[in-house]
Amino acid sequence: MAHPVRLRVVHAMKGGRTLTTAELCARIPDVSKATVYRHIDLLVAGGVLEVAEARRVRGAVERHYRLRQDGAVINPDTAGTLSADDHRRAFAAAMATLLAGFGAYLDRDEADPAADLVGYRQHALWLSQDELRELIGELRAAIEPRLANEPATGRAQYLLSPILFPTETG
């Protein structure tokens, strides 16, 4: 998943969505259709996406994909095996994904960062290991119930990207 286009596909699929490749291309208009198709194939092969439904439309097979939650995460055991360069590449891909997604948002005619409550703040916190674990638990407790929210009238999908790393040794 450590590629900006694949991460954007994964983000577009979150929230229990099932989408066709054409619908994914419409959500990522700044990437060529051939590139989106190629990355969808890689995500399916890697077990991150699965075919939820396939049906014939005008002689072709139209596939609806859904995100496999168990395939779309890097668990702590896997993260522990990654090298510093692996983490560097994954972080760079995540940042490229954020930049591309934010750029696509700003390029929309109806983009209104103030009305949409867009935020990009950083806070420097002094925490012990116990305080850090407590903070992570509190953040998870606040976020997890909302992950089950489905698309509905009056709801917009937001991308929340907590980033946490030490800036000094303790």
pLDDT computed for residue 1 by the predictor: 63
Model confidence, pTM: 0.67
pLDDT computed for residue 6 by the predictor: 86
At residue 18, does pLDDT exceed 80?
yes
pLDDT single digits (tens) 29-82: 888 999 999 999 999 998 889 999 988 888 888 899 998 877 666 777 777 888
pLDDT single digits (tens) 88-99: 887 887 888 788
- Sign of torsion over alpha carbons 122, 123, 129, 132: negative
Q: How far apart are CA 11 and CA 9, in angstroms?
A: 5
Could you tell me the residue ranges of all domains in the chain?
4-108
CA 97, 6, 37 angle in degrees (round to 5)?
130
At residue 104, does pLDDT exceed 80?
yes
pLDDT single digits (tens) 74-86: 777 777 888 888 8
The DSSP secondary structure of 62-125, one letter per residue, reads: EEEEEE-GGGS---HHHHHH--HHHHHHHHHHHHHHHHHHHHHHHHSTT--TTTTT--------
Q: Could you tell me the fold of the domain covering 4-108? A: Arc Repressor Mutant, subunit A (1.10.10)
- Please name the amino acid found at residue 166: P
Distance from chain centroid for Cα 34: 20
Of the pLDDT bands very low, low, confident and very high (cuts 50, 70, 90), residue 125 is very high
Q: For residue 31, give the DSSP letter.
A: S
Counting Cβ atoms within 10 Å, is residue 138 exposed (0-12), middle (13-18) or buried (19+)?
exposed
